[in-house]
Each structure stands twice: as structure tokens, then as C-alpha cells.
Amino acid sequence: MESRALGTQGLKVSAIGLGCMNLSLTYGTKPTEEAALAVLARAVELGVTFFDTAEVYGPFSNEKLVGQGLRRVRDRVVIATKFGFAVPADGGRPTGVDSRPEHIREVCDASLQRLGIETIDLFYQHRVDPKVPIEDVAGTVGDLVRQGKVRYFGLSEAGAANIERAHCVHPVSAVQSEYSLWWRAVEQAVLPLCRKLGIGFVPYSPLGRGFLTGSVAAPSERDFRRNMPRWQGEALESNLKLLAAFTALAATKNATPAQLALAWLLHQGQDIVPIPGTSKAHRLDENIGATAIRLSPDDIAAIEKAMPADAVQGERYDAAGRALLDS
């Protein structure tokens, strides 16, 4: 698989990474540890070098799983994890955000221990903490870089103003935010700023939380997507009509809708590295297949006509989720 640079500080990763959250927190049935480790092993076999986790996934258990699964290939992979939530010591639900410098340092040490590594390759602030100046966050991560505990600094779901302020204190190598044919708001301000500053962009939920795979029409009762406005009522009905047109277009390219959606993202620029997540090895193979798809300008136009940016209906998060986003 081709490699791509994230930022200008030297970080290079595979063109598609693996979002590991689904190996511990899934939309349906949680995979067994054996199945989860098999997905990690298959990803390495397919040439994936970029693996994304966080302390809050589990909480805590996902970092342990990723560390276990990648231990034998540590010298060949890039491991990204995140800080920024207030997670109870017993692993309960987060009680809010917390990016106080002392907490960032505590999370770093704990994540290193759970992952079983000496250095975190990419350390993201998971969500902006309005109570802590972003300059203090960047300065703290910069200290961790100088101490050898972290290699590169990233931000997740940060707005343009905070990205620029953080970058003035310590270089931001990557911004991770939701981006797909289902959610393109980052194209307005965040992505242009990242390109101006030489910051790489990592789309999470590049398949619209599974919607763009065409395999999920109605989430089950245990599925937290049921609480998201885009998956409800008239919004869902409207979005399914868009999906039907997009799926038909994918068939003309001899691709699955998931592959076409990822190929579209990969064609948005060499600074884009999507991290689709899956708990199934065959879906991993399908996703990686997107790297072989070549799209012409006419293909891009047809894709965006089938799934117009302003046609998708409904908010992407419920009110609680939206409250954590930086504007």
C-alpha cells in the first residue's frame, strides 16, 4: 500500500489506517478477543501501518488489545491514541472533558503502560476542553515530545481557530475529524486551514458510521446509532434514497459502495488518510480494496451528484454529542 505524510514533521503512514474502536465498542455484537486480534493481524498483512485507539474506547480495554495485537510488529506500525475525557478509574462512562496539563501527563503514562510501548507515535486531544487554553494543551504535549514519550501531536474535532492557536505553540501533525460523503462540513474552514499550515487530515467515520456500506438500513435496539438524528424517521428515509443512487453508481465501477466512498476520500488529496473501522476481517479486505480504485474528474462529479453535500438530512450527533464539538 502507498504511504502518505501526515503533517511536515516526518510522520508517514499507510494510505488507509484502521480505526480500532469497533474492536471494543461496536454497533452490534462485540467481537471476541480472538476475532479482534485476527483483524489486527490481517490489517498488518494487508499493509496497514496506522492504527487508531483511545483511552476512552472500552474504556481502557482497546489500548490493551491494540498493544497486544501489534507488539510483534511494533517497529513497523504507527499507533495513535487520545486524551481529553474525564474517565472514571473504574472504567465507567466519561463524566466530561479534561485537558488539564497534569491530566494529559497522567493519561500519557497510563496509555503507554496499557499499550506496552515506550513512545506514543501520535497523541491527539480527543475533544477540545473549553476550560483549558489550547496553548496549554499544545505546550504540555510539546513537553511530552521533548521527553520522548510522544512523537507527534494531533487534535480531534477541533475548530479552525483552536487548530491555528495550537499550531503556533507546537506543530500539529494531524487533525482527526468526521469526514465522508455523508458529512463534509470540514471542507469549509478546517481542511483549508490544515492545508495552509501543512497539517495532515484523518477522517474518522469515513463510511458514515456504516451507512455508506449499504448494509445497515435500520440499527438494532442495542445500536447507539438509533439515537443519531440521521438514522431516524424522515431523515433516514431521505438518506436511504441517496444511498440507493450511490449504490447503483458504485456497481458501474465494479465496486462496493464502501469502496467507492473511500476511494472518493482518497482522491480528495494526498494529505487525507481515512481510518475506517471494522470488527470483521472480510470488511477490512473490502476497505483496503478502495486503494486500487482510480477515479477521473467525471467520476468524482458523478459521485458528488449522487450524494450532494447539502442533501443529507439530520444532525450527525444527538444534543449531548454536539455539545462536545468545537465550533
Give the catalytic positions in this structure: 57
Q: Minimal CA–CA distance to 257: which of 285, 312, 215, 294?
A: 215
State how far the Cα of 81 lies from the Cα of 278, in Å rounded to an integer: 17
H or E segment to which residue 174 belongs: strand 172-178
Locate cell 479482534: which residue? 36
CB 253 within 8 Å of CB 289: no
3-state secondary structure of 226: helix
Q: Minimal CA–CA distance to 199: which of 3, 2, 4, 8?
A: 8
Residues 6+ apart with CB under 8 A from 233: none
Residue 6: HSE in the Cβ half-sphere, 13 Å Cα cutoff: 30
CA angle 29, 86, 138 (to 5 degrees): 115
